[in-house]
Structure 1
Amino acid sequence: MFKPQIKIPATYMRGGTSKGVFFRLQDLPEVAQQPGDMRDAILLRVIGSPDPYGKHTDGMGGATSSTSKTVILSKSDKAEHDVDYLFGQVAIDKPFIDWSGNCGNLTAAVGAFAISNGLVDAARIPQNGIATIRIWQVNICKTIIAHVPITNGEVQETGDFELDGVTFPAAEVQIEFMDPADGEGDMFPTGNVVDTLDVPGIGSLKATMINAGIPTIFVNAADIGYCGTELQEAINGDGSALDKFEKLRAYGALKMGLIQDLAEAAARQHTPKIAFVAPPQSYTASSGKQIDGNDIDLNVRALSMGKLHHAMMGTAAVAIGTAAAIPGTLVNLAAGGTEREAVRFGHPSGTLRVGAAATQQDGKWQVTKAIMSRSARVLMEGNVRIPGDILE
């Protein structure tokens, strides 16, 4: 006898250029309210992974790194914070959830969900105006501030803010990533703003390896045979290119001290990210929009979960903004090598502006916060259903 399906309260939300399934911790089955194999099994089944067909036909996932995401939120008991935010990046073809990093795009939806689902004290929500929601990002132990527009006591989702990579306009949500450098080590784990990365079969090339927003490895596009204006099809259909990027990522992770052995990289797909940069150049975005090289400071392309991202991960944008503010990094040099507190970069779907201010103290670089604007919207709310035998 097969057990019937169970239903779990959930909300399907877009945040930035990503979307995912959001849960209140208290709504998950009791066995999933603590980290562990049972939580992972339930969330994998919600998304529809692992799927050897790579389609997520039998789940809520969208079969891309941008749409195979889960979020668990709870009222925070941490002083000066409203909500705890835990993010899980679900692998598509493997039975694996990576809990090692944040999703900057979905961060834009966290404040709205928290307000609408009773996780924020009513006294902190204005009748009209902007609600300042203090988020504790559990994966990376960092504070994020979301500025959520409120109309008549409810989250304002509609508006005219346009975000490249998102088809329709919505209300603007400003996000501040406080002290975005990795709390467990230096912003530059090797101590250098540029290193030489030696990769067998590929060669020696310059790399900026930074812990800000999310651990990220930046290389020059020209050093790996690209121009920096590529769209997804130029890379994602090339198996040898994807293998090369994964090899670069693994060797970079090893040099950053994120893994102790190259084999560990396969089980840490979400972090670090690998990206390549180039000076500003005109190109046609994936939507057909013409991007003028005079309107941007540099071009950046980044991979997530083994594929070129269709736009830019929010956390990687923090890394870009932070690295751009620090003289001598490959990002800063691609943007002209000047001092700056904000940068506008081109990505496959268009452009994005991110701000960050860097200072040097005792010979080490520090950034107090990075700022960007995103948008978010509820797509569906109610219950997700999964077969009951998953709880056995």
Structure 2
Amino acid sequence: MDFKPQLRIPATYMRGGTSKGVFFRLEDLPEAARVPGPARDALLMRVIGSPDPYGKHTDGMGGATSSTSKTVIVAPASVPDHDVDYLYGQVSIDTAFVDWSGNCGNLSTAVGPFAVANGFIPAERIPQDGSVTVRVWQANIGKTILVHVPITGGQVQETGDFELDGVTFPAAEIVLEFVNPSDDEGDGGSMFPTGNLVDELDVPGIGTLKTTMITAGIPTVFVEASAIGYDGTELQPAINDDKAALAALEAIRVAGALRMGLIKTPEEAATRQHTPKVAFVAPPKDYVSSSGKRIAADAIDLNVRAMSMGKLHHAMMGTASVAIATAAAVPGTLVNIAAGGGTRDAVRFGHPSGTLRVGASVEQVDGQWTVTRAVMSRSARVLMEGWVRVPQD
């Protein structure tokens, strides 16, 4: 038998927001993996360590959670007035599958620093001290993200005193702007694909639920926590250790995906694990976060819990945060009602790890709601850089 040496591929392991993933420059990938297809998917799965029937990612760079089974490919911009293309692959943990259907808002944060550090930004644009705005083309969904990267001494500033619930240590603050983040995918061709702010959704095995379905940030199905037996203060064990709860929430996701026109048959949901998301909302209520931090009801506008890749997320996905802020800004949605109703341009919500504030600007044009911009603060940091190794087969 011919035993070949492993491939050595330049890579950077980065945290962005409450996620982390393996970052590549497109030009550094093996030639067959520089284009979409089975070769690229196979490479990224092997990097992460999937599929892993043990659910541990022991033989790869993944962390066996939806937040840590991520890959990013960065390339020179393919569209005018942008600096880089950013392509995101969510790697399934226990199946041979890479989902390219959506964006990761958390890792969007790290794309800016990665672009600066890897020579994608002209030197004359990088100040000695201050910040540089990296214009990112999110290639999965065809949207623009502005990443405001802090610079100190002509280099990316990574350390700082900005604290982000869900991340243990403080770091430098990075401001993200999602420009026109609504996706027109699905049957409706609008931010609310059914044309309604609230729908009655028939879910097999559960019944009829009120839902708000929106495509801002990422396609998301919002339901009332009380309608499915929760109060919105749940932490991961309450959901992830309950097989019946996971099955019910997946049934809601599949029904929502069908109603939104994202899939045509229930079976297609298995090949679209990353989207849509399911989130349940509730009015503000005191709770204790996963770190033991007490969150007071009067410090938040509402509580939100969201599912990611079949599990309750440990904090909140960045793209889902955009969906939350946008839906909260539109009077009459379930998110807006949970937050107390009225009009607002920002919302602070409670999640399992703490709280997050996100702003969104919405407007109504010809009777249709649209979101022009969503803004949030995150942080990012290089964890390791060098080469990732994978077997040649």
TM-score (norm 1): 0.99
Q: Kindly indicate whether residue 276 of structure 2 is the aligned counterpart of residue 272 of structure 1.
A: yes
Hey, what does 2:121 align to over in structure 1? Answer: 120
Q: What does 1:21-170 correspond to in 2, within 5 Å?
A: 21-170=22-171
Which amino acid in structure 2 is aligned with residue 339 of structure 1? T
Unmatched tracts of structure 1, length 5 or more: none
1:6-63 Cα distance to aligned partner (Å, 9 max, x none): 1100000000000000000000001100000000000000000000000000000000
Hey, what does 2:387 align to over in structure 1? Answer: 383
Q: Distance in 2 between matches of 1:24 and 1:6?
A: 16
Q: Distance in 2 between matches of 1:183 and 1:152?
A: 42
TM-score (norm 2): 0.98
Q: What does 1:1-392 correspond to in 2, within 5 Å?
A: 1-184=2-185, 185-389=189-393
Offset of residue 193 of structure 1: 0.5
Contact 1:141/1:183 (8 A) holds in 2: no
Q: Distance in 1 between matches of 2:193 and 2:78?
A: 31
Which amino acid in structure 1 is aligned with residue 72 of structure 2? V
Unmatched tracts of structure 2, length 5 or more: none
Aligned Cα root-mean-square deviation (Å): 0.6
Contact 1:299/1:346 (8 A) holds in 2: yes
Q: Distance in 2 between matches of 1:78 and 1:268?
A: 27
DSSP 3-state at the match of 1:388: coil
After TM superposition, which residue ranges in structure 1, 4 or more long, deviate above 3 angstroms? none
1:64-118 Cα distance to aligned partner (Å, 9 max, x none): 0000000000111311100100000000000000000000000000000000001
Contact 2:284/2:302 (8 A) holds in 1: yes
User: Cα–Cα, structure 1 residues 77 and 264, in superposed 2: closer, same or farther, change >3 Å?
Assistant: closer
Which amino acid in structure 2 is aligned with residue 96 of structure 1? F
1:177-200 Cα distance to aligned partner (Å, 9 max, x none): 000100442000000010000112
Contact 1:75/1:120 (8 A) holds in 2: no
1:322-364 Cα distance to aligned partner (Å, 9 max, x none): 0000000000000001110000000000000000011101000
**Paired-residue identity, %:** 72
Q: Distance in 2 between matches of 1:353 and 1:26?
A: 37
Which amino acid in structure 2 is aligned with residue 150 of structure 1? I
Which amino acid in structure 2 is aligned with residue 377 of structure 1? R
Q: Distance in 1 between matches of 2:241 and 2:123?
A: 49
Offset of residue 4 of structure 1: 1.2
Q: Distance in 2 between matches of 1:23 and 1:183?
A: 29
Which amino acid in structure 2 is aligned with residue 133 of structure 1? V
Aligned residues: 389
Which amino acid in structure 1 is aligned with residue 287 of structure 2? Y
Contact 2:184/2:193 (8 A) holds in 1: no
- Please say which of residues 70-79 and 322-331 is displaced more in the overlay: 70-79
Q: Distance in 1 between matches of 2:4 and 2:254?
A: 42
Q: Distance in 1 between matches of 2:3 and 2:96?
A: 22
1:157-191 Cα distance to aligned partner (Å, 9 max, x none): 00000000000000000000000100442000000
Which amino acid in structure 1 is aligned with residue 238 of structure 2? A
1:120-165 Cα distance to aligned partner (Å, 9 max, x none): 2222211210101100000000000000000111000000000000
